[in-house]
């Protein structure tokens, strides 16, 4: 791959991450929610988004190192491509934001807390076996 292609790919990936983060914030702020978003809801959404972005970064690292690692997420192949990883996480962030917005506040807290715990567990496991966070 030429360096121009690599730079364009990195730039595209950076914009994709920014787009997902902005979309999540937009969904939190403007969509018709089942209940208003409390400060706790917003903090949990931020934690869920942050840990999901960390997992996304690590999963992209796995995709670039198929000879060293395999993906354990059952919704992805053992050796996903970067495109599969990007589509999976972009979709997960958007769908997760829609679900969180649709849920009543009490259930929203449980949902976002659960997402955060699951993602944090994955990130901690990945880190323990040497998987780096790099987009």
Residue-wise pLDDT tens digits, 9-58: 555 666 666 666 666 666 555 555 678 999 999 999 999 999 999 999 99
Query: What is the average pLDDT across 61-81?
Result: 95
- pLDDT at residue 59 in the model: 97
Distances (CA, A) of 30 to 1, 16, 23, 39, 86: 41, 21, 10, 15, 25
Taking the model in full, what pTM does it have? 0.76
- pLDDT at residue 56 in the model: 97
- pLDDT at residue 1 in the model: 52
Question: Of all residues in the chain, what percent carry a pLDDT higher than 70?
Answer: 75
């Amino acid at each position: 791959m030429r360096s121009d292609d690599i730079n364009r790919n990195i730039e595209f990936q950076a914009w994709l991450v920014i787009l997902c983060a902005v979309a999540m914030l937009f969904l939190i702020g403007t969509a018709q929610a089942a209940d208003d978003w409390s400060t706790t809801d917003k903090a949990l959404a931020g934690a869920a988004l942050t840990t999901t972005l960390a997992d996304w970064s690590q999963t992209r690292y796995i995709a670039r190192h198929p000879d060293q690692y395999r993906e354990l997420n059952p919704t992805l192949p053992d050796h996903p491509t970067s495109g599969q990883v990007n589509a999976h996480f972009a979709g997960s962030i958007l769908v997760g934001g829609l679900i969180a917005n649709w849920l009543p506040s009490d259930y929203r807290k449980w949902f976002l807390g659960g997402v955060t715990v699951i993602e944090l567990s994955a990130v901690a496991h990945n880190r323990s076996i040497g998987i780096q966070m790099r987009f």
